[in-house]
Amino acid sequence: MSASEIPGPAADVTAKVKKPGYTNPAFKAMGIPPLRVPSRNWMIFWTVLTVSISGIVYDKRQQKKITEKWCKAVEPLSRGKLDVNEKPRKITVFVAPPPSDYLDTSMTVWRRFVKPVLFSSGLDYEVFTEEKQGLIRAEVAERIRELRRNLLQQETELKRLEGERKLWSRCKNAFSKGINSMRATKEIDEEQEKLLALKFKAEFDLKNLLGVFLKNPDRDLKVVSRDALVSDPVMAGGVICIGRGAYKEYINGIHEGILGPLDPPKKPEPVITEVENQGLETSETNGTSDKDQSPQESFVEIAEDSTEKTVPTNSENTNEAPTNSEETTEVPKPVISPYISPSEYGEAKFPRELTTSKIIRELDTQIPAIFHQPILVLPMHSLSGFLNIPERIYRFYRKRYEADAFCRATASCVLQKARSFEPTIDLDLALAEEADWPEKWVKQGKEKGSEWVSEVRGDERVLKLLHVFEPSTIED
């Protein structure tokens, strides 16, 4: 702004006088005009503003660059061939929100740092989120129990067919069938029509009509997953757990699924039994269900709005298996309580159906079971609280290092750098995240016996089946 001297013959008294500015003989000799600089207060203001904003801008640019760099590093994998009847390798991702925080915090990490790397490498992924505690564990345990049930059913079917082949049972069947098969002709006609209709419907496939499919030799190829074709189950699939809570739940879920019973335990009596988890379902709205008169089971909600947290107390020994699982956002649905508590792991028998072969595969897709797939745990550092604000600001300006860690870990998952699980150190994966958890939340959780704050306990028989991805093996 030019000097506000009023142009005119008479110099105005109120006109501002320009400060002379800094100069010295050397500057004068070089021809540099007198340097003028804003006042001290303005200088402070502009300095603070530019430093803070440029810090943010730089950090964000670096984050983007780092993500791009890791995406490019992983991209050559996506250029491999995939046959028309093949499905790519699939990663299961379990996301849990940080304590007393929103799920969105974890999902941001997933979307910005983990998903791009997985996408660039051509992998398929399935995300399972949860908003309450315990849903990941329930989901994982249910999947394993489903697998066990299917294996048992298959065994019984095979045995039954074996038995039928024998001559004596054949004769018996023929005799009894002969007697039962006398029916009225009208009935038979009706049934025949029904069967024909079903047959027509089943056989009516547009693939028989459309030109591309009509005479195509590849028409009836079965869809097979790449994971099913791999001989070593460590190389098949993968599990990513975002957050230590999710990891704890995952480990718990695995143990529950393998060592726990196939059917839910009986409804609890009104007596407080600390050892057994009864099959109670607690809703998130009321801390204790009507059937449960003891405050044994409650859930710790991670919902942001609720200040009270209900925690599933499965006896004091609930292990928090840090496994992430996604939960569907069905708010009113109560979380299923565990079928077995960690204190019972030692007594539980290892299920026979899981010992039939070295690699247990899902029946329909032949993909190795989820506990064979290596695990990657990503620590979700998320501080909260007023007094932590300086620390949070510091972390905010250094997010690029976090980004690098996340992307590197995901790259190790993509490139399949796995090693077997070591119970001494691997149960403490991402332990540093627990230092960030708010004290009050932890105390509340301990009172209610929440999974997340209890110690992870694992059974040797189960843990030796697991594998872990090792991010430190990735350089670059």
Partner 1 sequence: MSFLGFGGQPQLNSQQKVSAAEAELDLVTDMFNKLVDNCHKKCVQASYNEGELNKTESSCIDRCVSKYFETNVKVGENMQKLGNAFGNAGKF
Least distance between partner 1 and beta carbon 72 (Å): 14
Binding residues among 105-164 for partner 1 as defined by CB under 8 A: 122, 124
Cα gap 426→420, rounded to integer Å: 10
183 binds partner 1 (CB under 8 A): no
Least distance between partner 1 and beta carbon 80 (Å): 6
| Under 8 Å between Cβ of 298 and 282 | yes
Binding residues among 184-223 for partner 1 as defined by CB under 8 A: 201, 204, 206, 209-212
Paired tokens of 235: 């190389």
Q: Which is nearer to partner 1, 86 or 404 (CB)?
A: 86
The SS3 assignment for 460 reads: helix
Q: Which is nearer to partner 1, 3 or 212 (CB)?
A: 212
Our CA angle for 31, 34, 37, nearest 5°, is 140
Q: Which is nearer to partner 1, 103 or 123 (CB)?
A: 123
Cα gap 118→294, rounded to integer Å: 45
Count of CA atoms in the C-beta half-sphere (13 A) of 73: 19
Q: Which is nearer to partner 1, 79 or 177 (CB)?
A: 79
Least distance between partner 1 and beta carbon 459 (Å): 37
140, 141, 133, 142: which is closest to 97 by C-alpha? 133
Cα distances (Å, whole numbers) of residue 19 to 15, 29, 241: 13, 21, 63
Least distance between partner 1 and beta carbon 83 (Å): 8
Cα gap 264→142, rounded to integer Å: 11
Which residue matches tokens 């294996």? Answer: 151
Paired tokens of 325: 């699982």
Q: Which is nearer to partner 1, 90 or 148 (CB)?
A: 90
406: Cα separation from own chain's centroid? 14
Contacts 24+ apart (CB under 8 A), 180-183: none
403, 415, 398, 400: which is closest to 475 by C-alpha? 415
Q: Judged by CB under 8 A, which of 55, 88, 116, 423 binds partner 1?
A: 88
Our CA angle for 314, 318, 324, nearest 5°, is 110
Least distance between partner 1 and beta carbon 321 (Å): 30
Q: Which is nearer to partner 1, 122 or 264 (CB)?
A: 122
Q: Which is nearer to partner 1, 87 or 461 (CB)?
A: 87
Least distance between partner 1 and beta carbon 119 (Å): 9
Cα gap 269→295, rounded to integer Å: 13
Binding residues among 405-424 for partner 1 as defined by CB under 8 A: none
Least distance between partner 1 and beta carbon 63 (Å): 24
Least distance between partner 1 and beta carbon 264 (Å): 34
Q: Which is nearer to partner 1, 122 or 423 (CB)?
A: 122
Question: How many of the chain's residues bind partner 1 (CB under 8 A)?
Answer: 20
Least distance between partner 1 and beta carbon 469 (Å): 20
Which residue matches tokens 């329909």? Answer: 364
Quickly list H helices, 225-311: 226-229, 244-259
Binding residues among 45-84 for partner 1 as defined by CB under 8 A: 77-84
Q: Which is nearer to partner 1, 204 or 350 (CB)?
A: 204
What is the binding site for partner 1 (CB under 8 A)? 77-84, 86-88, 122, 124, 201, 204, 206, 209-212
